[in-house]
Amino acid sequence: MAFPYLEAVLGFMICVYIFETYLDIRQHAALKLPTLPKQLEGVVSQEKFVKSRAYSLDKSYFHFVREAATIALDITILAFGLLPWLWKRSGDILLRVGLSAENEITHTLSFLAGMMIWSKITDLPFSLYSTFVIEARHGFNKQTVWLFFRDIFKGILLSLVFGPPIVAAIIYIVQKGGPYLAIYLWSFMFLLSLLMMTIYPILIAPLFNKFTPLPEGTLREKIEKLASSLSFPLKKLFVVDGSTRSSHSNAYMYGFFKNKRIVLYDTLIQQCANEDEIVAVIAHELGHWKLNHTMYSFIAVQVLSFLQFGGYTLVRNSKDLFRSFGFDTQPVLIGLMIFQHTVIPLQHIVSFGLNLISRAFEFQADAFGKKLGFAASLRAALVKLQEENLSAMNTDPWYSAYHYSHPPLVERLAALDELDKKTD
């Protein structure tokens, strides 16, 4: 008797939904608390707390609806055999336009086109509501409807440019890989990730945002001095016009080897009370670089990627697996999609583990910034960013441990205070 793969996947999807909904309910209860955590009393203004509470509750209500709709759609697609139906229909469409459905690459691209159209249609109402109702209601949305749809159109064009050659390469590798398939797949995806990390900030990101050099002045001098003191090979320092879409703020760095770049959101510069707070944020980010957090994370992702491809090679020829999901044939892409569904339990465990590591990295980067002498400025910046982004002030410990890759503000401030005690 064949193992009921589909039933097992559906069962686990439902179990995960129930568990995560329980965590969402716990978080919702925390968000409804009418007062600030004691640790933030006198630190965060009451006005910002009221606004943050309203924003967080709005997002929480919306999250309940979106997750319920998502699980209902996912179960419907799998339980009623819509994937094999779409695979067959995509082949029929090829025949109608005079192409052969026997060519797996063209058949797969036709299937993916249908999947993309479906995902855009089903996601559009939620994206519109999130952007033009919730984000707008709380003063974050800055983009027009035209800009919103223009971004979607650009994303589709990029998928049409990069998708076909990548899909064709993966199918070819699987068909010709033989006993070393996992190594070939991992090698291809590794090189592809390096390529995308190289071209994304240079060719793709500028399609959506404008990047301008940070003007000469004391802020630039302070950042360059900090980078130089840490031997950080800073080549370019940009400001990105994040304010054209949202008033949320951020900062990040990218680049390989001796060609590093730092990007500041214009909203970050506007929101911080003084330049030292901005420099403190950069000190935190440089801490990730100096402590090799980015490299460790990249290596972890590569190891997990290789293990996933290794697992896929063990089941890619399983007729029972494909039949369980309603397929009579064994297309490469479908095999990858089905495999991803079957390892959902492991993916959630791994994701939880990566979050724990990421949180530890954040504490270490904060400590690094403190050691550089930015303790007061970093505290002020963390509080300012929490207030300006209306981030949740009250968080449920179970929810944050499971979902948050960054520790809540209360924990980060407590960790900095603990460092102060150790140095006294």
Which residues, listed in sequence order, are joined to residue 262 by a DSSP beta bridge? 237, 253
Please state, in angstroms and rounded to a whole number, the distance separating the CA atoms of residues 264 and 398. 32
Please state, in angstroms and rounded to a whole number, the distance separating the CA atoms of residues 59 and 3. 40
**3-class SS string, the chain:** CCCCHHHHHHHHHHHHHHHHHHHHHHHHHHHCCCCCCHHHECCECHHHHHHHHHHHHHHHHHHHHHHHHHHHHHHHHHHCCHHHHHHHHHHHHHHHCCCCCCCHHHHHHHHHHHHHHHHHHHHHHHHHHHHHHHHHHCCCECCCHHHHHHHHHHHHHHHHHHHHHHHHHHHHHHHHCHHHHHHHHHHHHHHHHHHHHHHHHHHHHHHCCCEEECCCCHHHHHHHHHHHHCCCCEEEEEEECHHHCECCCCEEEECCCCCEEEEEEHHHHHHCCCHHHHHHHHHHHHHHHHCCHHHHHHHHHHHHHHHHHHHHHHHCCCHHHHHHCCCCCCCHHHHHHHHHHHCHHHHHHHHHHHHHHHHHHHHHHHHHHHHHHHHHHHHHHHHHHHHHCCCCCCCCHHHHHHHCCCCCHHHHHHHHHHHHHHHC
Number of Cα atoms under 13 Å in the Cβ half of residue 49: 19
Active site residue 285: yes
Please state, in angstroms and rounded to a whole number, the distance separating the CA atoms of residues 133 and 111. 33
Q: Which residue is associated with the tokens 């995509």?
A: 90
Which one of 104, 266, 366, 387 is the catalytic residue? 366
Which one of 285, 387, 388, 411 is the catalytic residue? 285
Per the annotation, does 362 bind a ligand?
yes
Active site residue 366: yes
Per the annotation, does 284 bind a ligand?
yes
Number of Cα atoms under 13 Å in the Cβ half of residue 390: 22
Catalytic residue list: 285, 366
Binding residue positions for Zn(2+): 284, 288, 362
